[in-house]
Structure 1
Amino acid sequence: MFGAAGIVVTIVMVFGGYALAGGKMEVILHALPFEMMIIGGAAIGSYILSNSGAVLKHTVSGIMRAFKGPAWQGQDHEDLLCLLFQLLRLGRSNAVELEEHIENPESSEIFRAYPRILADHEAVAIITDTLRSASLNYDDPYQVEDMLTKRIALIKEEEMHVAHALQSMADALPALGIVAAVLGVIKTMSAIDQPPEILGKMIGSALVGTFLGVFLAYGLVSPLAQRLSAVKKHDLSFYEVIKSVLVAGLHHHATNLCVEVGRQSAPEQLRPSFVSLENALRDIKRAS
């Protein structure tokens, strides 16, 4: 919603200001299809050339994610903390029963109570792999923390590929605009025998290329890349909460304290309140 509003405001303010200043829109509209073909086509072609198939495959979904916003909300963080609380408590009381849950999370009543988390393969894999490793005596909290940090860093690198690719495209667009402008100048020079009013329009059309390259780069594509990057970082904080709780558990802190460590590590705007989380954990204890 905010992304679409930002695009509308940018376009209206730029072209509206130009029109109000007395600029003639017909010059831009006449040149726009051809300049967009040159600049947009070259940008898309270079994007395909410079990126792998995996990045190309996820480009459209990445752009949609930038407009939709973060996948995880405040309630999801509270649900995650409740899930981890149940798993840690079960692991300390009945390690054999915990193993059944982590080996088959799809059929686990604990995991199935939180379908949004269960649908995230990476989140479930981090939880189950870490708990499984602890059951196999790989439970040095410092080594596990280092392992999880590296794992989350790899996830971040993969998740940021599309944002970085879009930013690279944005960096190239002004130069591609110059290419279009130079081609327009070449066309103008080939018609140097024409009267000044015709040459003026041709030069104006050529300059549209420079304008479009800069406008697309800094008005649309670069902000889109930055928005996607922010959304991805926002979602990756979900995995950081998982790491914080599990590492605290390996330090043998009380289960409630482990969950509180995770709550404190959540981003402020997504962090469930202490009272809300305490009430949710109390309900879990009563139900068990």
Structure 2
Amino acid sequence: MYLIIGAVVVLASVLGGFTMVGGKLLALWHLNEFIVIIGCAAGSWVVATPIKVIKASFAGIKGVFKGPKYKREDYVDLLKLIYELLVKMRREGMMAIEAHIEQPNDSSIFQKYPKVLADHHMLDFITDCVRLIVGGNMAPHELESLLEYELETHHHEALEPSHSVQKVADALPGFGIVAAVLGIINTMSIVGSAAPSEIGEKVASALVGTFLGILVSYGFVGPISSAMENRAHEDGKAFEVVKMALIASLRGYAPSVAIEFARKLLFSDVRPTFQDLEADLKAAKG
């Protein structure tokens, strides 16, 4: 919603300021300039970007309009899920959790949290981590180092779409200059045989190319890239929460304390209070 509002403000400011000094909006509409700029940007993006990143970029742009993947109540459910797994391991032993992590879709614990169960990236991360704890006989610092490498790889992959879109934003002003140069070449070809009014119109058309390249870059594509990057950081926080809780548990802390360590990692706008989370954990334990 805020993304749309911001785009409307950008357009209203540019077009409103232009018309306030007597400019005519139709003077900014030159289809050939759009074709050159957008076509060059799209073509160079396809040449430079792997197909998986292109697909992820479209999904990331769509995700910016949808909102964050995990909201406050989803983080509470995620913490409750980890808490139940830790409690079961502590009460019944490591092997008691094996069936739950091998077949999470049939697990009575995982079935309580459909949002986590539907997120296959998160589900695989949780089950793989718990599987290492159950059968890996790893020291806490060894598991922590391994999970840090995994999260680093995950974050790098999650940021690839935003970096790719940012490169398009960086290139757009240059393609605007290409469109403007083509317009000037076309203008120079008729100097001496055309009326001054026609030459002025073609020069104005050429300058629109520079204008469009800069506007689309800094007004739309660049901000979308930044929004995608922020969203990737927000969505990655859930994985850090899981890592913290499991590492704290492996270090010997009680499940409730391990979950409190994880709660501290959450951003303030999605972090439940200590009292609210404690009540939720008691309900899950019951």
Flag whether TM exceeds 0.5 (same fold): yes
Q: How far apart, in 1, do the equivalents of 2:121 and 2:152 lie? A: 13
Q: Paired residue for 1:275?
A: 275
Q: How far apart, in 2, do the equivalents of 1:91 and 1:139 lie? A: 16
1:227-242 paired onto structure 2 within 5 Å: 227-242=227-242
Q: Paired residue for 2:151?
A: 152
Which ranges of structure 1 fall in alignment gaps of 5 or more residues?
none
Secondary structure at the counterpart of residue 101 of structure 1: helix
Partners of 2:95 and 2:134 within 8 A in 1: no
Q: Paired residue for 1:17?
A: 17
Secondary structure at the counterpart of residue 109 of structure 1: coil
Q: Paired residue for 1:69?
A: 67
Amino acid at match of 1:156: H
Partners of 1:177 and 1:209 within 8 A in 2: yes
Q: Paired residue for 2:124?
A: 125
Q: Paired residue for 1:40?
A: 38
Secondary structure at the counterpart of residue 160 of structure 1: helix
Amino acid at match of 1:73: K
Q: Paired residue for 2:246?
A: 246
What's the CA shift for 1:137? 3.9
Q: How far apart, in 1, do the equivalents of 2:60 and 2:88 lie? A: 37
Q: Paired residue for 1:138?
A: 137
Q: How far apart, in 2, do the equivalents of 1:106 and 1:155 lie? A: 23
Q: Paired residue for 1:216?
A: 216
Q: Paired residue for 1:187?
A: 186
Q: How far apart, in 2, do the equivalents of 1:240 and 1:258 lie? A: 13
Secondary structure at the counterpart of residue 225 of structure 1: helix
What's the CA shift for 1:205? 0.4
Q: Paired residue for 2:6?
A: 6
Name the stretch that deviates more: 101-110 or 16-25.
Answer: 16-25
Partners of 1:62 and 1:228 within 8 A in 2: yes
Secondary structure at the counterpart of residue 171 of structure 1: helix
Q: How far apart, in 2, do the equivalents of 1:183 and 1:69 lie? A: 41
Q: Paired residue for 1:50?
A: 48
What's the CA shift for 1:23? 1.3
Q: How far apart, in 1, do the equivalents of 2:103 and 2:122 lie? A: 14
Q: How far apart, in 2, do the equivalents of 1:92 and 1:252 lie? A: 10
Q: How far apart, in 1, do the equivalents of 2:44 and 2:264 lie? A: 44
Q: How far apart, in 1, do the equivalents of 2:60 and 2:130 lie? A: 31
Secondary structure at the counterpart of residue 264 of structure 2: helix
Secondary structure at the counterpart of residue 216 of structure 2: helix
Residues 25-47 of structure 1, C-alpha deviation per residue, up to 9 Å, x if partnerless? 22212x2x110100000000001
Partners of 1:169 and 1:221 within 8 A in 2: yes
Q: Paired residue for 1:96?
A: 95
Is residue 264 from structure 1 mapped to residue 240 from structure 2 by the alignment? no
Q: Which of 68, 81, 84 is matched with 1:86 structurally?
A: 84
Aligned length: 284
Name the stretch that deviates more: 230-239 or 116-125.
Answer: 116-125
Amino acid at match of 1:41: G
What's the CA shift for 1:138? 3.0
Which ranges of structure 2 fall in alignment gaps of 5 or more residues?
none
Residues 34-78 of structure 1, C-alpha deviation per residue, up to 9 Å, x if partnerless? 101000000000010000110122222111112222111011111
Secondary structure at the counterpart of residue 109 of structure 2: helix
Is residue 108 from structure 1 mapped to residue 115 from structure 2 by the alignment? no
Partners of 1:139 and 1:250 within 8 A in 2: no
Q: How far apart, in 2, do the equivalents of 1:111 and 1:42 lie? A: 48
Q: Paired residue for 1:175?
A: 174
Q: How far apart, in 2, do the equivalents of 1:135 and 1:285 lie? A: 21
Structure 1 stretches of at least 4 aligned residues deviating more than 4 Å after TM superposition: none
Partners of 1:188 and 1:199 within 8 A in 2: yes
